[in-house]
Structure 1
Amino acid sequence: MIVSNRRQQATPRTPAVVSRHVLVSLYERPPQTELTLDEFEIYAVDRLKILRTIDALKQKGFKPRELEAELAPVLAQALPLRGSAEHVKADERKDQVSHFILRLGYSRTEEMRRWFLTQECALFKHRLGTLSGPQLGLFLAANGLKFEEVSDADVDARSVALSKISKTGDGGAAGYYRVPFVEAIDLIGRREVYLEKGYAYVPAAKLHAIVVARFRSALSRSLAKASSSLAAAAGDPRLSPLLNNIEKHDLSNGKDLEDDDVEGIHPEQIDALAKQSMPLCMQQLHGALKRDHKLKHWGRQQYGLFLKAAGLSMEDQLRFFQAEFTKIMTVDAFSKEYAYNIRHRYGKEGKRTEYSPYGCYKLIMDMAPGPGEYHGCPYKHYDDDHLASILGAMDISRESSQAILGQAKSKNYQLACQKHFEVTHPKAAGVAARPDGVGNHPNAWFKASRIYHKEVHEAKNPDAVKQVEPAAAPAAAPAVLLAN
């Protein structure tokens, strides 16, 4: 793939036999195409919108049919796959390119790979479900996906067993396919296939689940390989801002978590901000730090990276932690034991890599605290009584507290976090707080809260709003080519 700053030249339209064109892709090979830098970012961001929408809908508990209905108009706007001759090539190009950009960007860590894999499989499943019977057959043939069709005689010989997996009585009207049982694990769990001698007999109507399983397996392997190519691509200064910050860009719904919507923070503000604008996970870490004047390793990492992304400079973070830690140790001991790790978070020591703040997925899945530790997700890791006690001490109604506890008890930890934001930020959707990323990332929670309070303050004090001069337009970048 070649990236350029030049605008694409218009090319004459040529007739296309669209009816035989396969729109859904397995993304087995990256496209060979020239790409402008503007396209590189636009394509990536548009696909991120789709994947974030899928994730958000699932977090809100949307059922498959509801999710499909909500997703369709978003896809039509940001990432369509239209079959008309006028659009098919451009749509296919954008779909292919955007997938491989995000595949590269999301190959950095295991957490990012898991997230990308989950959302891409959901998108693939949705698109596969929109294909008609003939279109599905064309897709299978074009991608060399062959399945062993069960003969009528074999179906008749197993008619009693096969009838039990058809809830409506006609689930196998279009026939059955025989596949190794390991490719039908999801269907086995839902009792939608018949098992015999290591093979699953799959109704034709359920064949798409097998295709999705193969797609997941292939994409998982490809993501592991892609991580070795990331360093070369991210080393280019034109691509690195997006590739190196793609998770933050995504989790804040298309805006960098460290942008200029609100000012940076200083140590003197943190006590007030902890109470006003930090999610519960960070409030717990801040409270433990103020009470014990120390945090264990993962607590320092979680809170330190959060504060960094919130706008606290390295010098101020050193000053902030030193002020607390030196209440129980000497300045020299703090400098020897803790200052290095703080500088390391900002890319000033070791590999000189800037680290991203932890998202909710990592806090929930990988960050269980031990005795004397306060990191992780309170909704996941605190017992009911402890969580109820914490919420009871806040300025939250009993009804709202019970709603939050109910989500946590149901293991909807991110929905519990979203509910906490809703009850502490009334009518947040009515201002510019953009709460969409709340429940997905602590810094999205913090940022949305700060914008909310800024908007509320300005609404109450219109005379205090500063007049900001419009920013000058950026200078045009020179034309360059990059071969990936």
Structure 2
Amino acid sequence: MEDTRSRAQFLNASNLKYKPVSREEKNYVVKQLDGLDHMSNIDDIEYYKVPFTEALDLVRNRKVFLQSGFAYVPQDDLVSILLSVYRTLLSQALTVTARALPSMEEDGRLLPMLCGLSKRYLGQDYGARQQNVGAVTADMIDMLSKKSFPLCMQNIHTTIRHTHHLRHGSRLQYGLFLKGIGLSLEEALRFFRTEFIKNTDVDTFDKKYSYGIRYNYGKEGKKTDYTPYGCMKIIMNNAPATGDSHGCPFRHFDTDFLKQRISTFGLTKDGVEGVMKYVKGGHCQVACAKFFELTHGISDSSSEVEMFIQHPNQYFEHSQKLLNGPAKTPSTPRGVKIVNSQTATSRSSGSDTSIKVETMDETMSQEQMQAMEDDMV
């Protein structure tokens, strides 16, 4: 009964006017239907009355009963009809698109927007206004990085701890991520200053690097409150060069090095191969999700991936929920006492405004990098 209801809802949502035949109509043609090879329990099968022109594959293979221009299609063969409809609609859409492309190329505003659609992230922006600003302090970052940071952020964190420096792309990617998990501007300055002054003096840090940190928080330059980078932006934009530590490990790491790196997290050989299977197939975000599930003990190496990672801060949030339980704030790590935490003012705008901000973020983030470089010259 539930399957019948779900099937009817799907057909209605797809604007397909296929209705199951009535009991009276099925009784009328029961002798003909009973003659079909694959039907022994005909009373338990639903049939749909479909114009025969929309069931040509089934007609060609003699799988349906025809009468008065209609094909009586059993429920299990509806997929053939849906596939045919999909192919027709796709062909029509491609034709319309092909005809529209010349006019789009003439309009310089549309083509760049269309080309950038695949790189846009329209999910939650994980801006500081949605977090407990101040709930995470600089002293907690080491512990959080081991438990809840995605591999991309763990890699940057390891770099700054070992070299006491980060290049520009890494500072942007990591600084915005830390902002998104609830690190305040003051704590961010303290964290980066503590590391950087191991290789330079305080005056040099304040003159050369503190500007970029304040810029991320909307205190310098255009005063824009920037949001953390999503996975697609990290994967598709600004690939790391030699000496860089930003980017996506599942996309930008050498295969052998990546395999060795994820082996250090206690994964079994099968677990490592389970992650690498997706890496070799080019499915970076699925590989990250598999890595999450294995390191958090919520799946084994042979099971299918049940979640999908779209954002490093989403990874952190899910990890904290698993470690702390759903009742606690995601940005409040287990075993850490939070002192003088401040609650950010929640966003008062509706969903439309949120979507607008998120859509603009991908464009603004590219401008940010250029603007910061220009301002620092």
TM over 0.5: yes
1:212 aligns with 2:93: yes
What residue in structure 2 maps to residue 335 of structure 1? 206
In 2, Cα distance between the equivalents of 1:225 and 1:455?
A: 45
What residue in structure 1 maps to residue 314 of structure 2? 444
- Secondary structure at 1:247's aligned position in 2? coil
1:225, distance to aligned residue in structure 2 (A): 5.9
Aligned residues: 257
In 1, Cα distance between the equivalents of 2:315 and 2:224?
A: 25
What residue in structure 1 maps to residue 172 of structure 2? 301
1:398, distance to aligned residue in structure 2 (A): 2.0
1:389, distance to aligned residue in structure 2 (A): 1.2
Match of 1:381 among 252, 256, 266: 252
In 2, Cα distance between the equivalents of 1:368 and 1:332?
A: 31
What residue in structure 1 maps to residue 281 of structure 2? 410
What residue in structure 1 maps to residue 235 of structure 2? 364
In 2, Cα distance between the equivalents of 1:409 and 1:257?
A: 35
1:224, distance to aligned residue in structure 2 (A): 4.5
Map of 1:53-72 to 2, 5 A cutoff?
Answer: none
Could you list the runs of 5+ residues in structure 1 that have no partner in the other structure? 1-71, 85-131, 137-165, 171-202, 229-245, 429-434, 459-473, 478-484
1:453 aligns with 2:334: no
What residue in structure 2 maps to residue 247 of structure 1? 122
> Aligned Cα RMSD in Å?
4.7
Structure with the larger RCO, 1 or 2 (CA within 8 Å, 6+ apart): 2
The answer to which of 402-411 and 392-401 deviates more is 392-401
1:350 aligns with 2:221: yes
In 1, Cα distance between the equivalents of 2:222 and 2:133?
A: 30
In 1, Cα distance between the equivalents of 2:134 and 2:177?
A: 15
What residue in structure 2 maps to residue 419 of structure 1? 290
**Aligned AA for 1:247?**
L
What residue in structure 1 maps to residue 153 of structure 2? 282
1:330, distance to aligned residue in structure 2 (A): 0.6
Q: Are residues 272 and 395 of structure 1, via their aligned partners in 2, closer, same or farther at CA, if it must alter by over 3 Å?
A: same
What residue in structure 1 maps to residue 262 of structure 2? 391
What residue in structure 1 maps to residue 80 of structure 2? none
| TM-score, length of structure 2 as denominator length | 0.56
What residue in structure 1 maps to residue 195 of structure 2? 324
Q: Are residues 401 and 214 of structure 1, via their aligned partners in 2, closer, same or farther at CA, if it must alter by over 3 Å?
A: same
Deviations 1:43-67 (A, max 9, x none): xxxxxxxxxxxxxxxxxxxxxxxxx
Whether the aligned pair in 2 keeps the contact of 1:437 and 1:444 (CA below 8 Å) is no
Could you list the runs of 5+ residues in structure 2 that have no partner in the other structure? 18-49, 61-83, 114-120, 300-304, 329-345, 350-377
In 1, Cα distance between the equivalents of 2:85 and 2:273?
A: 46
Deviations 1:126-149 (A, max 9, x none): xxxxxx99xx9xxxxxxxxxxxxx
- Secondary structure at 2:276's aligned position in 1? helix
Q: Are residues 347 and 205 of structure 1, via their aligned partners in 2, closer, same or farther at CA, if it must alter by over 3 Å?
A: closer
**Aligned AA for 1:452?**
L
What residue in structure 2 maps to residue 469 of structure 1? none
Map of 1:44-123 to 2, 5 A cutoff?
Answer: none
| TM-score, length of structure 1 as denominator length | 0.45
Whether the aligned pair in 1 keeps the contact of 2:278 and 2:286 (CA below 8 Å) is yes
In 1, Cα distance between the equivalents of 2:298 and 2:181?
A: 23
Deviations 1:365-391 (A, max 9, x none): 113111000111101111111001111
Whether the aligned pair in 2 keeps the contact of 1:262 and 1:451 (CA below 8 Å) is no
- Secondary structure at 1:328's aligned position in 2? coil
Q: Are residues 286 and 204 of structure 1, via their aligned partners in 2, closer, same or farther at CA, if it must alter by over 3 Å?
A: closer
Identity %: 34
Q: Are residues 395 and 457 of structure 1, via their aligned partners in 2, closer, same or farther at CA, if it must alter by over 3 Å?
A: farther
**Aligned AA for 1:368?**
A
Whether the aligned pair in 1 keeps the contact of 2:131 and 2:181 (CA below 8 Å) is no
Whether the aligned pair in 2 keeps the contact of 1:293 and 1:327 (CA below 8 Å) is yes
- Secondary structure at 2:325's aligned position in 1? helix
1:80, distance to aligned residue in structure 2 (A): 5.5
**Aligned AA for 1:448?**
H
* Rg comparison, structure with higher value: 2
What residue in structure 1 maps to residue 64 of structure 2? none
What residue in structure 2 maps to residue 174 of structure 1? none
In 2, Cα distance between the equivalents of 1:325 and 1:372?
A: 16
In 1, Cα distance between the equivalents of 2:122 and 2:149?
A: 20
Q: Are residues 224 and 215 of structure 1, via their aligned partners in 2, closer, same or farther at CA, if it must alter by over 3 Å?
A: farther
1:248, distance to aligned residue in structure 2 (A): 4.3
Whether the aligned pair in 1 keeps the contact of 2:232 and 2:310 (CA below 8 Å) is yes
Whether the aligned pair in 2 keeps the contact of 1:305 and 1:355 (CA below 8 Å) is yes
Whether the aligned pair in 2 keeps the contact of 1:257 and 1:443 (CA below 8 Å) is no
Whether the aligned pair in 1 keeps the contact of 2:128 and 2:179 (CA below 8 Å) is no
- Secondary structure at 1:276's aligned position in 2? helix
**Aligned AA for 2:161?**
K
1:212, distance to aligned residue in structure 2 (A): 2.6
Q: Are residues 276 and 204 of structure 1, via their aligned partners in 2, closer, same or farther at CA, if it must alter by over 3 Å?
A: closer
1:259, distance to aligned residue in structure 2 (A): 3.7
Whether the aligned pair in 1 keeps the contact of 2:134 and 2:183 (CA below 8 Å) is no
What residue in structure 1 maps to residue 183 of structure 2? 312
